[in-house]
Structure 1
Amino acid sequence: MSETTPAPCAPEDVRRVACIGAGVIGGGWAAHFLARGYDVTAWDPAPDAEEKLRRLVAAAWPALEQMGTAEGAAPERLTVAGSLAEAVADADFVQESAPEKLELKRSLLAELTAATRPGVVIASSTSGYPMTDMQTSAGDPGRLVVGHPFNPPYLIPLVEVVGGERTDRAAVDWASRFYKAAGKSVLTMDRELPGFIANRLQEALWREALHMVASGEATVEDIDASITEGPGLRWAFMGPCLTFALAGGEGGMAHMLDHFGPSLKSPWTRLEAPELDRALRDAMVEGCDRAAGDRSYADLVAARDQGVIDVLRATGRLGGTAR
């Protein structure tokens, strides 16, 4: 995409979205776009992909209806194509959600740039690879961006948008406008950052949790409760930085840093990842099994979805249903 190869339509005029890869993330994207009133064409090489995708959309739809769907939105507007070329032939936007394998991403994005109409923006859902590393084989890398969602994409508003070294800035701006029109909360990043922003923060918490389980300092249940009953309640509407600023009272962040800054040198955290040996793996698996109890995967998904909806509703962030 460049000034000489404009996008086929304005971001607000997109009608058909192609979802390439129909697993948990790709399927979640498909459900989100359907609920926002788009026509969605999906493709995945797995032989049972269509059955799993339609089951995922059906399971997500009650939650999406609670949040409010766009006029005319319906699961029936989902088409599953028999080939990648067929899936993207009429697409106004492409969301790629293939497995996290760099060579696969490279070859797939190269194939997508060759198969789509000139100017169509293609976004990758990658959770860690920079676009610079993924666009090396593409014949038209200027229209390739990262559109990194949080799971499940049909509920969590966040999407982080960033281009690679060979991405046109116009493509990044177009994608950001499109995601906003599609009801997402967009963070447009000025530069590539390994793991992006939210994953980096989440990974720090995850590593510390693994250390505590590995050393017998806390159980899986303890760790989850410490967040859901503690800082997670504040983080639902106020991020960690502003939360810490309030800890400084009327003096704000300045007082907090002056007062608590020395504790940053205390050996509270261990950001190096622990050795994921068999004992730690089993402790994490067994802890999650205990926490789940007799609830099935479907039960847990339903509970998570309802919880997210309740928080979004309570904080006034369900968003619009326009389209």
Structure 2
Amino acid sequence: MSRPDPKAATRVGVVGTGVIGGGWAAHFLAKGYDVVAYDPGQGAEDRLRRLIDGAWPALEELGLAPGAAKTRLTFADSLEEACTDVAFIQESGPERLDLKQRLLKDIDAAADPETVIASSTSGYGMTEMQRDCARAERTVVGHPFNPPYLVPLVEVVGGERTAADAVDWACDFYDHAGKSVIRMDAELPGFIANRLQEAIWREALHMVAAGEATVDQIDRSITEGPGLRWALMGPCLTFHLAGGEGGMAHMLDHFGPSLKSPWTRLIAPELTQELRDRMVEGCETQAGERSIADLVAERDRKLIAIMKAREAAS
């Protein structure tokens, strides 16, 4: 059996339907795929359908693929059903290594022999997750960003036993499915974007813990500052411009010595009860009377506006 053309795939499986898995299901449905989803959790189907209902207005505004419909979702009664007769499987189970290993082993046993299996893991390497898979050569990481139905980035990388053609197939499939694909050169703990996010996150926690800045100040320092530039150019090209006509070379030559200044506290602070409470209180203050559902709707609406503006400016 040979793999289908990734551009000809019409039916995908989604295993694990929490925030990330449910977001993947919404994305695939909006792109016109038939989706077979499975999650053993109590009430999982109702939660998934509510998530898709909540995401659908944003997806309609972005533009649905021809034939896209929420009715093309099937919630399977078993893992085997979700893994049979599908061209691709996206696993989004809980972030526990032992569970990932067991789940990928079970998916591998249930899926058609040539079906590519991708994990949404945000931290584990495929080498450690594919340990017990009989056909590990078709397992890859497809690391998305929340919400997967709007944020286009997906980082793709295989493990030591993954075949290069499986990574090629996954990249082509994701690209055809409307994602912006980074094919990573090697396994990297935390991947690329998470490593960058975590650096900022650790600094934010240190500043709150030391009473140097509030949650609101930290968030606005990004949304009203670098975040605006990062939506258009990444940190490297942004600093390239900071060097003026001399570009990155001048920037590094001029500011290079400051790289060793004691600005950063990249080691994570101790998560004390006091720090936890201050973070929670700060977020609740920022949210005000807006519920999580309200914030999700606001985030989606504003993300769409940014994506449309960026597309118009390109």
What interval of TM-score do these two structures reach, taking the shorter chain for normalisation? Answer: over 0.9
The aligned amino acid for 1:19 is V
2:19 paired residue number: 24
Q: Distance in 2 between matches of 1:136 and 1:72?
A: 39
Aligned 8 A contact 1:16 1:39 in 2: yes
Offset of 1:159 from its aligned partner?
0.1
- Equivalent residues in 2 for 1:81-92, closer than 5 Å: 81-92=76-87
| CA 1:162–1:70: 2 relative to 1, 3 Å | same
1:306 paired residue number: 301
- Equivalent residues in 2 for 1:88-127, closer than 5 Å: 88-127=83-122
Specify every segment of 5 or more residues in structure 2 that has no aligned partner in the other structure, as ranges: none
2:148 paired residue number: 153
Alignment pair present for 1:266 and 2:261: yes
Q: Distance in 1 between matches of 2:241 and 2:278?
A: 36
- Equivalent residues in 2 for 1:76-225, closer than 5 Å: 76-225=71-220
Alignment pair present for 1:15 and 2:10: yes
Q: Distance in 2 between matches of 1:47 and 1:152?
A: 23
SS of 1:316's equivalent in the other structure is helix
The aligned amino acid for 2:171 is S
Q: Which of 1 and 2 has higher RCO (CA within 8 Å, sep 6+)?
A: 1
Aligned partner (choices 197, 203, 224) of residue 229 of structure 1: 224
Offset of 1:290 from its aligned partner?
0.2
2:287 paired residue number: 292
Aligned partner (choices 47, 51, 60) of residue 65 of structure 1: 60
The aligned amino acid for 1:279 is E
Aligned 8 A contact 1:67 1:318 in 2: no
Cα RMSD over matched residues? 1.1
Number of aligned residue pairs: 314
Aligned 8 A contact 1:22 1:42 in 2: yes
1:122-173 Cα distance to aligned partner (Å, 9 max, x none):
0000000000000000111000000000000000000000000000000000
Aligned partner (choices 14, 37, 40) of residue 35 of structure 2: 40
Aligned partner (choices 249, 252, 255) of residue 247 of structure 2: 252
Q: Distance in 2 between matches of 1:39 and 1:169?
A: 27
Q: Distance in 2 between matches of 1:34 and 1:247?
A: 42
Aligned partner (choices 46, 55, 58) of residue 51 of structure 1: 46
Q: Distance in 1 between matches of 2:108 and 2:313?
A: 34
Q: Distance in 1 between matches of 2:73 and 2:96?
A: 27
Q: Distance in 1 between matches of 2:147 and 2:313?
A: 15
1:280 paired residue number: 275
Offset of 1:317 from its aligned partner?
7.3
| CA 1:27–1:318: 2 relative to 1, 3 Å | farther
SS of 2:146's equivalent in the other structure is coil
Alignment pair present for 1:6 and 2:2: yes
SS of 1:196's equivalent in the other structure is coil
Q: Distance in 2 between matches of 1:15 and 1:6?
A: 16
The aligned amino acid for 2:78 is S
Q: Distance in 2 between matches of 1:53 and 1:106?
A: 24
Percent identity, please: 68
Q: Distance in 2 between matches of 1:166 and 1:148?
A: 18
1:217-269 Cα distance to aligned partner (Å, 9 max, x none):
00000000000000000000100000001000000000000111111111111
The aligned amino acid for 2:93 is A
TM-score w.r.t. the length of structure 2 is 0.99
Q: Distance in 1 between matches of 2:32 and 2:2?
A: 24
Alignment pair present for 1:242 and 2:266: no
1:85-118 Cα distance to aligned partner (Å, 9 max, x none):
0111111100000000001000110111110111
SS of 1:243's equivalent in the other structure is helix
Q: Distance in 2 between matches of 1:97 and 1:318?
A: 34
SS of 1:161's equivalent in the other structure is strand
Over 3 Å off, 4+ runs: none
Offset of 1:6 from its aligned partner?
3.0
Aligned 8 A contact 1:309 1:318 in 2: no
SS of 1:69's equivalent in the other structure is coil
SS of 2:201's equivalent in the other structure is helix
SS of 2:311's equivalent in the other structure is coil
| CA 1:317–1:101: 2 relative to 1, 3 Å | farther
Q: Distance in 2 between matches of 1:89 and 1:266?
A: 56
Offset of 1:190 from its aligned partner?
1.4
TM-score w.r.t. the length of structure 1 is 0.96
The aligned amino acid for 1:6 is S
Specify every segment of 5 or more residues in structure 1 that has no aligned partner in the other structure, as ranges: none
Q: Distance in 1 between matches of 2:238 and 2:82?
A: 45
Q: Distance in 1 between matches of 2:131 and 2:312?
A: 38
Q: Distance in 1 between matches of 2:34 and 2:280?
A: 39
